[in-house]
Chain A
Amino acid sequence: MKNMLLALSLMMVPTMLAQAQDRPVRWRRGEPGAQIPLTVFHSTQSVHLPTAETMQQGELQFEIWHRFLPPISSGVNGLWGLDGPVNVRFGLGYALTDEFVFTLGRSNVQDNVDLQFKYRALEIPSENLPFLIGFQAGVGWNTDVAGRKDSDSRNFQYYGQIIINTIIDRRLAVGLVPSYLNNIDVSSAERENEVSLGLYSHYYASELLGLLAEWHISESNVSAPFNALTLGVQLETGGHFFKVFVTNSASLNPSLFLAGAVSPFDSDDIRLGFNITRLLK
């Protein structure tokens, strides 16, 4: 019996020595507490189409968009279109919450005023293929339609969009935006509806530079029979996004853009444009 107890004691010695050499501190790291919002597209817009990204609660975003009307083919005499004239849109967005943003914009095309609401609805995190889903709805009020009062109900357009975004390898972001537009052509006596599909992609070549492409497939209609294609680059510096591109669409506000492009994407019809957004707080 005595020998057995002695043996037991000896067996315990290595365990005790190991414990004695441990740090006496009892603190241990807990679970990480940070909640990082999923980022797919860095910007809240592709070019004409929305991404599911929103701003942080309380942030303001100022938007300046230009589409130069003379095509690039106007050459050096028209400074490749930069001499103008130009379609312009100004917009101001405000984030009521981290998920909900509303934006008020105005362009000089039919003096269109637009009010849009975007909701960042769902994050599906994944190491390889995360998804971010959002919704956008808005109204466009065209206040300068020939032969009508501003308040004529035919001057209003309504639209809704589902925004599906994903990113591959943290470099190649892809977006799919099915859209519905009520009242395609405000100059027409009839209200017609349209379903369209937007596809866009950004390749983030560096922290500063990205390449972008956007294709909007719309039903052919008399006033705007062509699909809109846009190709360009994006510069990202702090709270600014600068997007410079060529496009066959001269429309700016969502309700006018969704109707389609007036001219095809060919060498005689593509024009320069840029979008600048600036975050304010």
Chain B
Amino acid sequence: MESDDTLIDMISMRATLCHCVAFALVAFLPGPLLAQEYHIARSRENRVVFISRAPIDEFEGITHLIDGYAYIEGDSGLVAGADYTGSELYFEVELNGLDTGIRLRDRQMRDDYLETDRYPYATYSAAIESVELSSGGEQTINASGTFSVHGVERPLQISCNSVAAGAGYRVRCGFEVLLSDYNIRRPSLMFLKLSDTIRLQLDFYLKPVDAEQ
């Protein structure tokens, strides 16, 4: 009789142990199983261009220092027409890396206008709303989120074109921002040389996280 009780106790203990292990495994698995994460491949030829077209001068600031990720719910990647609820796009540009071709102007941009010692990054954080098929085998990613620079955040909707590149994607985006919207002043003696409207052109590569590791 006593040995029967011991056997029942052992069976019960094994069952509890199995439950605990299963619970722990499920709880500690990293993230949802059906999601894909892509990181900007910093080793690739990424390029961000800030373009100012003012009445008497036009110049570009170029940097390769862009980083960020795309988090895609589901396992289909970027496919036109899929459900992108919960999917995100985030990128940030290191403004101290801006090269306008003239070191003196770079320093003025950093120190006097962008104040990069206080605000070193321009960031864009958005929800991916949809992906549509566009011409030439490319897809258009529509995203809605927040652009932040110089300590000011404003809502911004952008559209980017993506095309498959290896296991990941090449993404190209273009949009405009007004310096005055972000409290970035323009020098009084240079106002004709620096446009209030700055066009940003981004060209970067996304790689699946596993491919980076």
- Mark A residues whose CB is within 8 Å of B: 1-2, 5-6, 8-9, 12, 16, 19-20, 24-27, 29-30, 32-34, 36-37, 39, 42, 55-56, 59, 98, 207-208, 237-239, 279, 281
Contacts and interface: CB of A to CB of B under 8 A. Distances in A.
A29 B189 contact: no
B204 interface: no
A281 B101 contact: yes
Nearest to B68: A27
B205 interface: no
Contacts of B69: 25, 27
Nearest to A59: B102
A27 B110 CA distance: 27
Interface of B: 9, 12-13, 16-17, 19-20, 23-24, 27-28, 30-32, 35, 37, 39, 42, 63, 65, 67-69, 71, 88, 90, 92, 94, 96-97, 101-105, 107-108, 110-112, 120, 187-190, 193, 209
Given A207-B112, A279-B102, A5 B13 contact: yes
B97 A33 contact: yes
Contact of B16 (A6, A26, A37, A238): A6
B90 to A, nearest CB: 7
Contact of B9 (A2, A32, A55, A281): A2
A27 B30 CA distance: 13
B20 A9 contact: yes
A42 B107 CA distance: 9
A76 to B, nearest CB: 30
A196 B20 CA distance: 83
B60 to A, nearest CB: 12
Contacts, number: 98
Contact of A1 (B13, B27, B193): B13
Given A2-B16, A55-B103, A59-B103, A238 B193 contact: yes
Contact of B23 (A9, A19, A238): A9
Nearest to A241: B104
B94 A20 contact: no
A113 B96 CA distance: 39
Contacts of B37: 24-27
B97 A56 contact: no
Nearest to B110: A36
Given A59-B103, A207-B112, A32 B120 contact: yes
Nearest to A238: B190
Contact of B17 (A5, A34, A98, A279): A5
Contact of B104 (A5, A19, A239): A239
Contacts of B193: 238
A208 B187 contact: yes
Contacts of A42: 104, 107
Given A2-B13, A25-B71, A239-B105, A208 B189 contact: yes
A89 B135 CA distance: 60
A240 to B, nearest CB: 9
Given A6-B16, A42-B104, A30 B42 contact: yes
Contact of A30 (B67, B110, B190): B67
B187 A239 contact: no
Contacts of B63: 34
Nearest to B90: A27
Of A37, A98, A238, A281, chain B has the most CB atoms within 10 Å of the CB of A238
Contacts of B35: 24
